[in-house]
Amino acid sequence: MLIAQLSDLHVRPPGELYRGVADSNRALTDAIIHLHQLDRRPDLVVITGDLVDYGEPEEYAHAHTLLSQLTIPYAVLPGNHDHREQFRTAFADHAYLPMDGPLHYCVDDYAVRIIALDSCVPGQHHGDVDAAGLQWLQTTLQANPHKPTLVLLHHPPFVSGIPYLDEYAYRDPAPLEAVLHTATNVEAVLCGHVHRPMVRRWAGTVVASCPSTTTEIALQLAPDAAPQSYIGPAACMLHLWNPAHGLVSHISYIGQYPGPYPFF
């Protein structure tokens, strides 16, 4: 099974730029074209949050229109820039989304089970999953303890070392870690939020964050670093699962580059 991951689309109303600088709408279209041109068609696309920038209905209408270009099934998850109820309304045609409360869900229609956690705190930018959400996760994991599973959430449950990102990190990940430690079939935890690829061993599995389709947050590790971003390089992730070999994840850069050349 091949699962493509997009994240942090930050769609704006038609004709408007993300933060007045980046054409996030065009970047999403470019990402969709990129997925359609892959030499192997993904079975599913997962989008790990921040589909829009301000949570406005006009943004969601445009995001839904842009995503309708996808000829591949896709599943969506909110991020801290999303508005939970506007998100739910905009994607009411996605039957897996719950009708009320946090947008936790499980998609069990593929060789790999997808469990998504809504790690957003309404009105805030940091991440958290409350006790009820953790109990839902525990119950869902226990319902099928052997099937290969990916767990999705927007906020990576670790400290990145980039100070202005860590102000808005997942708060107190230990309870989530304890739940995940009870499962032996979680192939990986997939996140967004940080606009950069990051990998960490955690909770008996691996956590990986996906780059953004529109901007890359600068890698600055000095504790007094000021927030900075770059337009690009845009990328997505491809997660290839094989029953004999398990899961391998690739970063797939979006855009045109010189090549290909007949060597490696």
Contact 24, 214 (CB under 8 A): yes
pTM (predicted TM-score): 0.97
Burial class (CB in 10 A: 0-12, 13-18, 19+), 42: buried
Q: Could you confirm whether domain 2-253 is CATH 3.10.20.30?
A: no
pLDDT digits (tens, 9 = 90+) for 120-135: 999 999 999 999 999 9
Interacting residues of 143 by C-beta distance below 8 A, sequence separation 6+? none
> What integer pLDDT is reported at residue 232 of this predicted model?
80
User: What's the CA gap between 254 and 200, in Å, rounded?
Assistant: 24
Residue 264 has pLDDT above 80, yes or no: no
User: What's the CA gap between 189 and 200, in Å, rounded?
Assistant: 10
Vertex 17: Cα angle to 15 and 20 (nearest 5): 135
Residue 154 has pLDDT above 80, yes or no: yes
> What integer pLDDT is reported at residue 256 of this predicted model?
87
Residue 257: alpha-carbon gap to chain centroid: 25
> What integer pLDDT is reported at residue 55 of this predicted model?
97
Mean of pLDDT over the chain = 97
> What integer pLDDT is reported at residue 102 of this predicted model?
98
> What integer pLDDT is reported at residue 47 of this predicted model?
98
The amino acid occupying position 93 is: D
What percent of the chain lies above the pLDDT cut of 70? 100
Range with lowest mean pLDDT among 22-31, 64-73, 250-259:
250-259
Nearest in space to 153 (alpha carbons), one of 115, 205, 194, 186: 115
In this structure, how many other beta carbons lie within 10 angstroms of the beta carbon of residue 46?
25
> What integer pLDDT is reported at residue 99 of this predicted model?
96
> What integer pLDDT is reported at residue 206 of this predicted model?
98
pLDDT digits (tens, 9 = 90+) for 188-203: 999 999 999 999 999 9
> What integer pLDDT is reported at residue 210 of this predicted model?
98
Residue 263 has pLDDT above 90, yes or no: no
> What integer pLDDT is reported at residue 260 of this predicted model?
87
